[in-house]
Structure 1
Amino acid sequence: MTKLMTIVIENAGAEKGYLLLKQQGEWQIAASGTIDSDAVKVREAIPIQTFSKPILSNAIIDYVVRTKDSVVLSDAANAGNFTRDSYIHQQQAKSILSFPLLNQGKLIGIVYLENNLTTGAFTPERMEVLNLLSSQAAISIENATLYNTLEQKVAERTQELSQALKDLKATQKQLVESEKMAALGGLVAGVAHEINTPVGTSITVASTLADETRLFVTAVEQGQLKRSVLNNYLEIAKESTDLILSNLNRAGELVQSFKQVAVDQTSLEHRTFLVKQYLEEIVTSLTPKLKQASQTLTVTGDETVTINSYPGALAQIFTNLVMNSLTHAYQLHESGQLRIQVRREGEVL
C-alpha cells in the first residue's frame, strides 16, 4: 500500500490521496499520503464516516462503488455532477480523480486523489498511466489481503491447537488422577474385606473372654472359686489372648502392606522390592473382585526374586491384567483359576 500510494500520487500529479479498502462490511481509509511528505501513512483502517470533518467527497466514493467507473473532475466546485456536494462546496475543490481497483470485475479498492492547487491536473496522459497501474495494484492488494487473512487464520488455528493441547493435558491429568482414585477405591475395598476377618475374630474372642472374666470375678467375690474354675479360666484366657494377638498382628500386617501398595499407586517411587511378596499383597486387595467373579488367583515361584523398579507401575499393570482376565476370559458366573508364577531365567524375570 505504501508503494502503491507513492507511485500513484507521483504519477498522477495529486496533492493528496487516499486508498480505501472494504473491511467488515464498510469502506475504510487504509492509507493516505501527500505530495509534500515523503511518508505515506499506512494505518489501521478507519471508516470514512467516523471523521467529524469530511476529508474527501463521500458522494464520489459512493458513485465509484455503485458504478465501478472512474470520476475525473477538472474544476469540481464549479463544474460536473458533484458541485452540490457539501465537502466539495466547503473546500472549493478543484481537481479530483477517483478510480476503482478491479480484479476480474471484483471491486478490490478505491483510489481517491485531489489537487486543489490547480484545475485540470489529471490529464488523459496521466489517466492512461493510472489505468495501467490500477489492474496490477488490484491484484497486489488482493494477494496481500489473502496472505494477511491466511496468516490470521494460521495464527487463530495455532491458538486453537495450543488451547486444545492445554485442554488435552488437563484432561489427561484428570484421567490419571481418576485412575489413581479408582485404584485406591479398590484397594480400600480389599482392605475392608481382608481386615474384617481378623478384626471380627478378635472381637468375638475378646467378647468370650470378657464373659468368662465376669463369671470368674463373680466366683471370686462369692467365695465359690474352685481349682477347676480357675484352671478353666486360665486356659480360656491363654487361648483367647493368643487368638487376639495373632489376629490383630495379621490385621496390622495387612494394613502395612495395603499402606505400601497405596503409596506406590499414587507416587512414582523407585525402590527395590520382592516381586512375589508384592504381587501377593496386590492379590489380597483384589480378593473382593475375585470372589464376585468366582475366580481364584494364586502367585507361586521364587520368594527371593527382587527387582529395582517402580512398584506402582507394576501394581497397575498386574491389576489391569487380572481385571481384563476376569472381564474377557470367562463367561458370566464361570469359575476358574488364575496362576502367576515368578521365576528368573538368566537375567530376565
Structure 2
Amino acid sequence: MSQFHESILNRLSKSPVIDEGDLDAAARLILEAAMEGLGINRSGIWLYDSDVQDHIRCHLLMDSDMAAPQESLVLAREDFPSYFKALDEDRVIAANDAVNAPETKEFAKGYLDLLGISSMLDTPIRHNGVTVGIICNEHRGKPRQWRPDEIIFSGVLSDLFGRVLNARQRLDYEQQLKSINQNLEEKVAERTRFLDEALAQQKQLQQQLVESEKLAALGGMVSGVAHEVNTPLGVALTATTHLNDQLKKLQQDFSAGAITKTQLQSFIESATEAVDLSHSNLNKAATLISNFKRTSADQNHFEKERIHVSDYVRQVVSTLTPLTKQIPAEVIVIGGDFIVNTYPGAIAQVITNFVSNACIHAFVDGYQDQAKIQIDIQQSKSGDVTVSVKDNGIGMDEATCQKIFNPFFTTRRGEGGTGLGLSIIHTLLTQNLNGSIDVESELGKGTQFKIFFRQ
C-alpha cells in the first residue's frame, strides 16, 4: 500500500468518531477518505436489509458533483441477480469497465450511463464474521484499472466500518444495560406482566387460529358431504318413485281383475331390484353421514379416547371424498392396525389438513393424472406412532419447505389459500399430541410429511 493511503488510514483510525458508535458521522468520515484516497467523487455505504440478503439499502451516499437523492435507495436481488451473485461470494468486485463487466453490466442502462460512471470498486463490509454490506466506489470518466494498493485501501476502509458497527453494537448494549439498571424491580415486574399478557394473547391467538381452521375445514366438509349425500339419495328416490309407479299399475290391474302370473312375477323382480338399489344407496349415505358426525364432533372437542387408528383415519378420509374426487386423487391408508389412547379430534384435523393441502397445492400444472395420497401408519415397540403422508404431486423447493409451517404463508394467496393449514398441523402436533413434524420434498417428485406423536 502506498504511503499516501497509509497516511489517510492512520489519520482515520485515530479519529474518535470511529469508536463513538455514531454510524452516520463515521460513515461520512470513511467515505470522504475513500474519495480522497481513490481520487473519485462518488462513494457510498450499502447495507443488507436482513439476513436473507435479498435487498441492499444505501446507508449513506456522497457525491461531490451532485446532490445525493433524498429517497432511500434499495437494490433487489430479483432486479440485479448477477450483481447479487457476485456479492454472495464475499469477494471484492473490481469492475474496471463497469458497463461490460459481468458483475455490474446490469447497471449499464439507467444508472451508469446517466451518471457517467465507468468503473466500480466494491469491497465487502464484515461484522462478526458475516458480510453485512459493501463500500461502493464509483469512478467517472474513462474506465480505469483499479490498482492492487487501491483495492487493499478500500478493503481496509470496509474493515474500519465493521469496527464502527462493533462500536455501535457496544453502545447499544451499554444503553440497554443503563436502561435495565434503572428501576430494575419495576421493570422486572412490568416485563413479567407484559410476558404474561403476551403469552395469554399468544395462546388465545393460537386457539383462534385452530378454531378458524376447524370451521374452514368443517365448512368444506359440510358442503362436500351435502353434495355427496345427494347422489345416493337421488338414486334411492328414483328407485322408490319407480317402485311406487309399478305398485299403482299393479293395483289397477288387480282392481280390474286382469292381473296375471307373469305380471306379478315381473313386479316382484322390479320391486326387488328397486328395494336393493334404495337399500344400498341409503346405507352409503348413512355411512357417510355417520363418519362425518363422528369426525366433526371430534374436531370440535379435543378429548382423549381409545381409537383403532386405521379405521378412524379411513372414516376421516371418507368424509373428504368430495374434495379428492375433484382432482381425482386416490387416498390409500396402510398400516395402523392397532389401538392407541390419543386425541381423535386432533388426528382428524391433521389428516383433514394434510389431504386438503395436497388437493389444493400438490396436484396442479399437469400433476392431476394418477394422483395419489398414501397414508402409512406405524407404531414402535414403545407405543409411539409415526404417520407418513406422501403424495406424488408437484413438490416444493427448499425455500418453500422452510416457510410452510409459518402462519399465513401460502403460495395460493390469490386463489383462496389462508396459509393456516400446515401451521395448524404444527400447533396440534407440538401442543396437543406432544409430537413433531418433518417434511421432505423436491420439485417434480412429490412431498412426504412425517409426523410423530406419543400416546
TM-score (norm 1): 0.51
| Alpha-carbon shift at residue 212 of structure 1 (Å) | 0.8
Aligned to 1:133: none
Greater gyration radius: 1
Q: Which one of 345, 358, 361 corresponds to residue 325 of structure 1?
A: 358
Gaps of 5+ in 1: 1-145
Aligned equivalents of 2:291, 2:263: Cα separation in 1: 42
Note the alpha carbon deviations across 1:132-169, whole angstroms, 9 max, x for none: xxxxxxxxxxxxxx967x88777777666655554444
User: Partner of 2:372: helix, strand, or coil?
Assistant: strand
Contact 2:288 2:319 in 1 (8 A): no
Note the alpha carbon deviations across 1:100-151, whole angstroms, 9 max, x for none: xxxxxxxxxxxxxxxxxxxxxxxxxxxxxxxxxxxxxxxxxxxxxx967x88
Cα-Cα RMSD: 2.9
Select between 260-269 and 177-186 the one with higher mean Cα deviation. Answer: 177-186
Q: Are the structure 2 counterparts of residues 159 and 344 from structure 1 closer, same or farther at C-alpha, using a change threshold of 3 Å?
A: closer
User: Partner of 1:340: helix, strand, or coil?
Assistant: strand
Identity of aligned residues (%): 40
Q: How does 1:199-238 map to 2 (within 5 A)?
A: 199-238=233-272
Aligned equivalents of 2:235, 2:353: Cα separation in 1: 32
Gaps of 5+ in 2: 1-180, 386-455
Contact 1:276 1:301 in 2 (8 A): yes
Contact 2:291 2:318 in 1 (8 A): no
Select between 324-333 and 309-318 the one with higher mean Cα deviation. Answer: 324-333
Q: Whose RCO is larger (CA < 8 A, sep 6+)?
A: 1
Note the alpha carbon deviations across 1:66-122, whole angstroms, 9 max, x for none: xxxxxxxxxxxxxxxxxxxxxxxxxxxxxxxxxxxxxxxxxxxxxxxxxxxxxxxxx
The number of equivalent residue pairs is 202
Q: Are the structure 2 counterparts of residues 153 and 309 from structure 1 closer, same or farther at C-alpha, using a change threshold of 3 Å?
A: closer
Aligned to 1:295: 329
- 1:337 and 2:372 aligned: yes
Q: How does 1:9-20 map to 2 (within 5 A)?
A: none
- 1:247 and 2:281 aligned: yes
Aligned equivalents of 1:338, 1:280: Cα separation in 2: 13
Q: Are the structure 2 counterparts of residues 333 and 293 from structure 1 closer, same or farther at C-alpha, using a change threshold of 3 Å?
A: farther
Contact 2:291 2:319 in 1 (8 A): no
- 1:177 and 2:211 aligned: yes
Contact 1:206 1:244 in 2 (8 A): yes
Note the alpha carbon deviations across 1:257-297, whole angstroms, 9 max, x for none: 21111111111121111222111111112222222333221
Q: Are the structure 2 counterparts of residues 279 and 156 from structure 1 closer, same or farther at C-alpha, using a change threshold of 3 Å?
A: closer
Q: Which one of 278, 300, 304 corresponds to residue 270 of structure 1?
A: 304
Aligned to 1:193: 227
Aligned equivalents of 1:173, 1:346: Cα separation in 2: 33
| Alpha-carbon shift at residue 346 of structure 1 (Å) | 4.3
Q: Are the structure 2 counterparts of residues 274 and 184 from structure 1 closer, same or farther at C-alpha, using a change threshold of 3 Å?
A: same
| Alpha-carbon shift at residue 255 of structure 1 (Å) | 1.6
User: Partner of 1:293: helix, strand, or coil?
Assistant: coil
Letter in 1 for 2:310: K
